[in-house]
Amino acid sequence: MNSKIDTKTLEKTAKDIRAQILKMLSNAGSGHTGGSLSCVEIILSLYACALRHDPKNPKLAARDRFVLSKGHACPALYAVLAHFGYFPKTELMKLRKLGSSLQGHPQFGLPGLEASTGSLGMGLSIANGMALAARMDKKNDVKIYCLMGDGETNEGQVWEAAMTASHYKLDNICAIIDFNKLQIDGFLCDVKNVEPIKEKWQSFGWEVFEVNGHDFKALTDAYNKAKTTKGKPSLILAHTVKGKGVSFIENKAQWHGIAPKPDELERALKELGE
Partner 1 sequence: MNNQDKSTWKGTRDGYGKGLLELGQKNKDVVVLSADLTSSTRADWFKEKFPDRFFSFGVAEQDMVSTAAGFALSGKIPFCCSFGVFASGRAWDQVRTSVAYMNLNVNIGGTHGGISVGPDGATHQALEEIALMRVLPHMSVVAPCDFLEAKKATVAAAYTPGPVYLRLSRENLPIITKEEDEFEIGKAKILKNGSDITIIACGIMVYQAMLADEILKKKNIEATIINLHTIKPLDAKAVINAAKKTKAVVTCEEHLLAGGMGSAVAELLSQNYPVPIEMIGVNDRFGESGSPWELMKKFHLMPEDIADACERAISRK
Judged by CB under 8 A, which of 119, 193, 247, 254 binds partner 1?
A: 119
Smallest separation (angstroms) from partner 1 to the CB of 27: 25
Judged by CB under 8 A, which of 4, 99, 136, 230 binds partner 1?
A: 136
Smallest separation (angstroms) from partner 1 to the CB of 161: 5
CA distance 150 to 182: 8
Judged by CB under 8 A, which of 60, 62, 133, 189 binds partner 1?
A: 133
End-to-end CA distance of the chain: 28
Would you count residue 126 as binding partner 1 (CB under 8 A)? yes
Contact set for partner 1, span 51-90 (CB under 8 A): 67
Q: What is the bridge-based pairing of β-strands 207-212 and 186-187?
A: unpaired
Would you count residue 229 as binding partner 1 (CB under 8 A)? no
| 196 cis-preceded (ω within 30 degrees of 0) | yes
Smallest separation (angstroms) from partner 1 to the CB of 18: 28
Would you count residue 205 as binding partner 1 (CB under 8 A)? no
Q: Using only C-alpha atoms, what is the Rg of the chain?
A: 17
Would you count residue 141 as binding partner 1 (CB under 8 A)? no
- How far is residue 228 CA from its own chain's centroid? 21
- How far is residue 18 CA from its own chain's centroid? 14
Smallest separation (angstroms) from partner 1 to the CB of 210: 25
CB under 8 A: which stretch of 18-26, 27-35, 74-82, 157-165 binds partner 1? 157-165
Judged by CB under 8 A, which of 20, 33, 38, 164 binds partner 1?
A: 164
CB under 8 A: which stretch of 85-93, 107-115, 237-245, 259-267 binds partner 1? 107-115
CA distance 53 to 57: 8
118 versus 186: smaller Cβ distance to partner 1? 118
Would you count residue 117 as binding partner 1 (CB under 8 A)? yes
Residue 30 in contact with residue 109, Cβ under 8 Å?
no
Q: Which residues pair with 187 in a beta bridge?
A: 182
Judged by CB under 8 A, which of 5, 93, 132, 258 binds partner 1?
A: 132
* Nearest by Cα to 197 from 174, 173, 181: 181
Task: Name all contacts of 130-138 with Cβ < 8 Å and 24+ positions apart.
Answer: 130/65, 130/67, 131/165, 131/168, 131/170, 131/172, 131/173, 132/168, 132/170, 134/172, 135/170, 135/172
Judged by CB under 8 A, which of 17, 76, 115, 253 binds partner 1?
A: 115
Judged by CB under 8 A, which of 100, 154, 157, 212 binds partner 1?
A: 157
* Nearest by Cα to 147 from 244, 44, 54, 20: 44
CA distance 192 to 185: 10
Residue numbers of the site for partner 1 (CB under 8 A)?
67, 107-108, 114-119, 121-123, 125-134, 136-137, 156-157, 160-161, 163-164, 168
